Structure 1
Amino acid sequence: MEKTKQAVAKKATEFDATSVERSSGDRWINMSNALTRAGHGLSLAEKRLVSAAVSKLDSRRVLKPGEVPVTKISAAEYAEAFDVDIHTAYDQLKASADALYNRSITFFEPAHKRSGKPLEPTMVKVRWVGKAKYHRTEGWIELHWWPEILVALTDIQGQFTQYQLRQASTLRSIYSWRLLELLTRFKSQGWAQYTIEDFAVSMDATEKQRADFAAIRRKMIEPAVKELQEKDGWKIEWKPIKAGRRVKGVRFEFQRDPQGRLDLSDDKSASND
């Protein structure tokens, strides 16, 4: 195992970031707003891998019928993108390769009414990939995208969320990353409001956490807000929306300076993005 890692480390010295369209940190992630709101079901390492791969897709390209893109990520690329050493990159790629095939995206479709009565939404799950290949000695993973997820990643013409990979590269919490996506979706208006049900799904909250808003506040919202403010130049204020004693939603007011300099003015409705 150690010899294998040394071989990967040697290959890292040969990695040329100019061999891709642009350096990994400067690439953009584009996804439909519907995908932004969905539960992604990924660990932090898996989110890193999927996002690095998404950033290499052409979101404007119309795929040919039956075409399924294949995206390759090397340990050297991963290390460069997320500022980790090559051994960490190797370990995280291997673990992600083992787990990613079984990961799925969760979202809800409105159900048709029967006899004028509303029905509960239908839960839908879609895989991220149909195949994941990992080469141990060369240290790369190859993702064969699941066809049904491609509509949310390519040929995006209307409502979509876009941010640079470098914005999330230093984050150490999957909740911070998901909150970044949820806020970026509304960056032009400077505020976002979600029902607690939608927010819980997007943050991949467990059933136990969904029944306890204090847990969502303590484990997800507060640490995520703090990390985004410290690492990606956000100014965020948030509050729970209540109906009586029950929390029915969360509202965020925010702005972000692309250079990481916070605007400490009192105008909370402006967005510097």
Structure 2
Amino acid sequence: MANDLTVVKANSLIEATYRLTLDEMRLLALTIGTMNPKSDKQVFEFSVSEFVNQFPEVNADRAYTQIKSAIERISERWVKTEDERHVTKFRWVSSQTYFKKEGRFKIALTNEIMPYLTQLKGQFTQYQLNHISGFSSVHAIRLYELFTQYKRLGDRYISVEDLKKWLQLEDKYDRYNNLNQRVLTPALSEINEKSDLFVEYEPIKKGRKVTGIEFSITYEKPVKKRPAFPHKNKYGKFVTLNRQDPRMSNHEYGEWVKDCLKILEDFYKKLEDVPNEDLLFYWIFLASNESNKSKLGSKKTFSDELKKRGYKIVECELVKIRDN
């Protein structure tokens, strides 16, 4: 199965009212992602391993049980759409099957849901499945879809009433502060950290009451800068690196290194995110004392990464590798 699946939905479906668990949302997203919007295919079959590969947050050991439970519930779920004249309710799924001891499952979509997913001629929204695959909350997925509708415009106003309706929270969070703290803040943190969008927001008041929220939607995530290393004077007057052999650096340098290494380890999560300068620092800090460790790898890990980027280390300095 491809890793670049595209989810396509009619805008009226994105703004519909429905209640689904996280695994049910994932199940439907995977199904819609594999659909051809120009086809009328309604039955889809997947393996548990394909589900796990698409959603890295899913524990592989518990995936079969989670999927089986989601499949059993999803056929009972309703989706409600409404416009100025009509309120319509229908099911998502007409039948579902899980194959015992085979790690496979199958679902059939209803006739009523198909016009919202295929042969779309009106307004619709599409996004890559991998942009939501790391989310761990239903609210993050639903908000992401609502923002994606308006990403070309760059902003969207949503009344608190509509927001709570779409998130199925009509009977919760009478106070905006609670809605903000328990729903908006964690969901937007996931969207900003794990998806292609970056969203900021501002509550809009009518009198003293927050009645709506203005969301600003961009692709430009703010660049976070690594915290500065502590000043060497804190450790003594002679904090000196021995560039020929970092292991022979003085004791004060070793103490400084421990604090600097902790800053790097707290800040960077993936090797590919580390800039060349800090790859060099990593190498030096690990070379200065064999007891120093990094979650990202060994000295060789950092020197190999620099080599891939076209650099080598000579006396603790970066030197551009010349092509022969």
Task: Give TM-score scaled by structure 1 length.
Answer: 0.76
User: Structure 2: which amino acid aligns with 1:212?
Assistant: R
Is the contact between residue 52 and residue 73 of structure 1 (CA under 8 Å) also seen in structure 2? no
Q: Within 5 Å, which residues of 2 pair with 1:237-252?
A: 237-252=200-215
Change (3 A) 1:78 1:196: same
- 1:34 counterpart (4, 9, 12): 12
User: Deviation string for 1:204-246 (max 9, x for gaps)?
Assistant: 214133x332332122111111111111243221012222223
Correspondence 1:126 to 2:100: no
Is the contact between residue 6 and residue 33 of structure 2 (CA under 8 Å) also seen in structure 1? yes
What is the CA–CA distance in structure 2 between the aligned matches of 1:252 and 1:154, rounded to whole Å? 29
Where 1:198 maps in the other structure, the secondary structure is helix
User: Deviation string for 1:36-59 (max 9, x for gaps)?
Assistant: 111231111110011000111111
Correspondence 1:163 to 2:127: yes
Where 2:79 maps in the other structure, the secondary structure is strand
Change (3 A) 1:36 1:250: same
Where 1:169 maps in the other structure, the secondary structure is coil
Correspondence 1:219 to 2:193: no
Is the contact between residue 158 and residue 214 of structure 2 (CA under 8 Å) also seen in structure 1? yes
- 1:73 counterpart (33, 46, 54): 46
User: Structure 1: which amino acid aligns with 2:70?
Assistant: S
1:93 matched residue in structure 2 = 67
Correspondence 1:147 to 2:106: no
What is the CA–CA distance in structure 1 between the aligned matches of 2:199 and 2:89, rounded to whole Å? 32
What is the CA–CA distance in structure 2 between the aligned matches of 1:205 and 1:44, rounded to whole Å? 15
User: Structure 1 regions of 5+ residues with no counterpart?
Assistant: 1-16, 18-22, 112-121, 265-273
Aligned length: 222
User: Could you say which structure has the larger radius of gyration?
Assistant: 2
1:105 matched residue in structure 2 = 79
Is the contact between residue 98 and residue 105 of structure 2 (CA under 8 Å) also seen in structure 1? yes
What is the CA–CA distance in structure 2 between the aligned matches of 1:201 and 1:44, rounded to whole Å? 17
What is the CA–CA distance in structure 1 between the aligned matches of 2:176 and 2:87, rounded to whole Å? 22
2:247 matched residue in structure 1 = none
Where 2:29 maps in the other structure, the secondary structure is helix
User: Deviation string for 1:143-175 (max 9, x for gaps)?
Assistant: 111111111100112311111110011111111
How large is the Cα RMSD of the aligned pairs? 1.8
What is the CA–CA distance in structure 1 between the aligned matches of 2:196 and 2:45, rounded to whole Å? 31
2:151 matched residue in structure 1 = 187
Task: Give TM-score scaled by structure 2 length.
Answer: 0.64
1:231 matched residue in structure 2 = 194
1:175 matched residue in structure 2 = 139
What is the CA–CA distance in structure 2 between the aligned matches of 1:81 and 1:233, rounded to whole Å? 16
User: Structure 2: which amino acid aligns with 1:145?
Assistant: L
Is the contact between residue 30 and residue 162 of structure 1 (CA under 8 Å) also seen in structure 2? yes
Where 2:112 maps in the other structure, the secondary structure is helix
Where 1:156 maps in the other structure, the secondary structure is coil
Where 2:18 maps in the other structure, the secondary structure is coil
Correspondence 1:45 to 2:23: yes
Instruction: List structure 1 runs of 4+ shifted beyond 6 angstroms.
Output: none
Is the contact between residue 93 and residue 140 of structure 1 (CA under 8 Å) also seen in structure 2? no
User: Structure 1: which amino acid aligns with 2:127?
Assistant: Y
What is the CA–CA distance in structure 2 between the aligned matches of 1:107 and 1:196, rounded to whole Å? 19
User: Deviation string for 1:80-119 (max 9, x for gaps)?
Assistant: 11123432321221110121111111333324xxxxxxxx
What is the CA–CA distance in structure 2 between the aligned matches of 1:242 and 1:32, rounded to whole Å? 31
